[in-house]
Every structure is written in C-alpha cells, then in structure tokens.
Structure 1
Amino acid sequence: MSYLAPVLEIGGNGGTPFDFRGTDSGASLEKIGVWAGGWQIKCIKIWLTNGEYREFGKPEGDYSEYAFKPGELITSLSLWDNAEGDGAGTRLGAIKFTTTLDGSFFSKMTDLDLQKEYPIDVGSGICMGIVGFAGEDIDKLGFLFINPIKSTFLTNITYPTLYDVIPQVATEELKSMTYQNDTSVIQEYTLETSEKVIRKSSWLVCSIWPRRGSTVFCYLGRWTPIVVLFIFAMILSLLKTNRTK
C-alpha cells in the first residue's frame, strides 16, 4: 500500500507533464506562490523544506503566496477547473486550502465564476509536492499528501556538532583497542577492564577555646552535606556545654 494519499488532478488535458516532490529527501511543502489570470491559473511556484523550488507556467496576473510555519499542516484543500456551464474545463481555475494554525489561502481566476468544487483528500496534512501539466498556463494540477500517520520512529540519528564539545571534566582512557573482522565468519571479542578507586579522609582534634580544654573535631577531606551537618551539630553541642559551665 502506498504511503501517499490518492492523487486527484484537476484541469484539462493539455500541457507538458511535471512532477516536483520531496519524497526522496523527506522534504515537504514550505511555501506556495500562485499567479491567477482572467480565465485560468497562469503559474504556480513551490518551495520545499530542503531549499529546492520549481516554477511551472508563466508568471503573469494577480500574485498571492502562503508560507507554512514549522509543524503547520493542511486541513482542507479544494481545486476548481475553469469550466463554464456544462462544458469541460481546459485549465486549472482555483486553489483553496486551510491549515492547522488557522491559516487560509485562496487564489482563483478573476473573470470567470467558479463552477464545480473538487475536495481533495489531504491525508495527514503533510504535502510532499505537486504533479500536473503546464505550458504557459497550469493545465492540470494535483497535490501529493502522505496518508494519515499511525506511528513514527527515528533512525540513523547523528549529532554533527557533538565532537566539537569539550568536556568540562578530566578524562582518562582506561583501555582501548581496534579490532577488524576481515572474514565472513562471525567473531566475538570481549574487552574488559577494571579500576580500583581509593578515597582518603583524615581527622584531627584541635582546641578552639583555650579555657577548660574545650575541643571540636576538625575534618580534613571531602566536605559533603552529611559532614557539614555533623560538624555543625558538634559545634552547637560544645557551645551549649561551655555556656553551662
């Protein structure tokens, strides 16, 4: 089953086919510009999120454009041809859409009234590009949408600037090796290492009040919150003892 929603192309049968999409690179629609003539859509220009852009038709007439914000999706889309009465359309006549951020766009031919509206299946709302036929006008146009998304997952994630980060800690290499398997046979190798860490703390007794031989423990080592609380309690106890003597 295709990941793209069914594509409905609206317009006539003339022109040269075109296909501009970002499905291979993962790029989606970023901006659209449309030129409207008296009885047809004259030109359309599409920008994708990878920086690529293409223009189809001849840029003449009333111009309007819409730039999508990051994460903005299309919620509805309708196309019209330029048919008059019961006749068949020969060109694209209008484009209208709305978005998840309350945005809207409407570009239509200026001299003819719109006839039959063609609602388009927008799937997930993510537009990957356009297809159609064009010469000096837009003869026929269709939009490419991804189907509704049920789940997503990320693969091959890289952080290109991670190697430029200088750690703010002292680093030490414990053990390293380079191993290469030049055969088609599965090989296993275990790299093991260990390190013994010794932490030292020392205590001494000193006199801080010469009279009556009052003493307090002085700690020389790592000042953790527990050590600080212990010493503070000892000082309070000694102060209380000296005041009662």
Structure 2
Amino acid sequence: MANQGRHLCPETMIVGGTGGDDFSFKSASYVTIKKVNVTYRETALTSIQVIFNCGHMIKVGNLTGSQSQEIKFDDYDKITYAKLWPNITGNRCGGFEFVVAKSNGVTTTLSVKCKQLGQPVCLDVKSGKINGITGRSGDEIDALGFYFI
C-alpha cells in the first residue's frame, strides 16, 4: 500500500513530457497568482499566461490553441485540491484542475483539460495558494507544475 502522506510530496510535481526548455517563475510568498489564461488544442496545452496579484505577468508556450480559458482567483480563495494530467501519449501537459474554497463558503472546480488525457497526478496544495509555475515549454507546454505555499 502506498503512503500518500503530505510529508512525502516533493516541493513541486511537474507533469508531462521532457521536450522544450526549462522555465521556472516563483514569486515571494506574499505574491500569489491572480489569473491564468490558457490556450489549448485537443491533445495539449499550447500556452499559459500567469498574472500575479502584484501585476507581474509571464507567458510560456508559443502556439495559440483552438480553445482558450481564463481562470481567476480572488485574494481569499484557497485551493483545497489540485491535479495535473499529461496528455494521452505523455509527451505534453494535457490539463489541470483546482478545487477552490471561496471566501463565501462556496466550493468550485476550475479546470482546463484537453480531450485526450493520461492518468491524473494529485498535487500537495500546502496552504492553498500558488506563487509560481515551473515546467518545460517550446511551441507548446511540454510539462507543467505549480509552486504552492
């Protein structure tokens, strides 16, 4: 039986393939992600733009997918559960999902998923705030991970 304790999780789990170039953007612990804009196609995420609550913005991936989605976080949102998917062939990131507890007590699920997904990977969300992203990219998002504080 696998031990799924929080203390065994690495700092950041990166899910997807090995192509592309490394990227890593991590802010100070008091700066968190406010908005995530993602473009994607049937088999992979193609670009991801992250805007922090201080106004700083980063973007990785060069292609624009046929679909796009925007995910917004309020200052008091807390991520209670998160997972990432590789695509079906394991060479790109295929999607991610956050279960978020809102300040008004409502829980909502925010996700971006391609149609052709591999097996999901659950993430350690720590305090429930994201202060950065990491992974590998070229024209598309080869692999993706989130820094949780």
* TM-score (normalised: structure 2): 0.85
Deviation at 1:60? 2.1
1:198-237 mapped onto 2 (5 Å cutoff): none
Deviation at 1:107? 1.1
Match of 1:63 in 2: 68
Match of 1:29 in 2: 33
Paired with 2:87 and 2:123, the residues of 1 have a C-alpha distance of 17
- 1:106-156 CA-to-partner distances (Å, cap 9, x unmatched) read 11113x2x231100110010111100110110001110011xxxxxxxxxx
Paired with 1:137 and 1:48, the residues of 2 have a C-alpha distance of 22
- 1:168-204 CA-to-partner distances (Å, cap 9, x unmatched) read xxxxxxxxxxxxxxxxxxxxxxxxxxxxxxxxxxxxx
Match of 1:49 in 2: 53
Deviation at 1:22? 1.3
1:73-88 mapped onto 2 (5 Å cutoff): 73-84=78-89
1:144-163 mapped onto 2 (5 Å cutoff): 144-146=147-149
Identify the structure with the greater helix proportion: 1
Paired with 1:82 and 1:97, the residues of 2 have a C-alpha distance of 18
Paired with 2:101 and 2:113, the residues of 1 have a C-alpha distance of 22
Aligned partners of 1:42 and 1:61 also within 8 Å = no
* Runs of at least 5 residues in structure 2 that lack an aligned partner in the other structure: 1-9
Deviation at 1:49? 0.9
Paired with 2:17 and 2:120, the residues of 1 have a C-alpha distance of 15
Paired with 2:124 and 2:46, the residues of 1 have a C-alpha distance of 24
1:51-130 mapped onto 2 (5 Å cutoff): 51-57=55-61, 58-84=63-89, 89-101=90-102, 102-110=107-115, 112=116, 114-130=117-133
What's the RMSD between the two structures over aligned residues? 1.4
Runs of 4+ in structure 1 off by over 4 angstroms are none
Paired with 2:125 and 2:64, the residues of 1 have a C-alpha distance of 26
Deviation at 1:59? 2.6
Match of 2:5 in 1: none
Aligned residues: 135
Aligned partners of 1:43 and 1:60 also within 8 Å = yes
Paired with 2:53 and 2:18, the residues of 1 have a C-alpha distance of 30
Deviation at 1:69? 1.2
Identify the structure with the greater strand proportion: 2
Paired with 1:12 and 1:73, the residues of 2 have a C-alpha distance of 29
Between stretches 128-137 and 26-35, larger displacement belongs to 26-35
Identity %: 29
Question: What amino acid is the match of 2:56?
Answer: E
Paired with 2:96 and 2:64, the residues of 1 have a C-alpha distance of 16
Question: What amino acid is the match of 1:98?
Answer: V
Structure having the higher Rg = 1
Paired with 1:65 and 1:10, the residues of 2 have a C-alpha distance of 20
Match of 1:136 in 2: 139
Paired with 1:70 and 1:27, the residues of 2 have a C-alpha distance of 10
Paired with 1:21 and 1:50, the residues of 2 have a C-alpha distance of 13
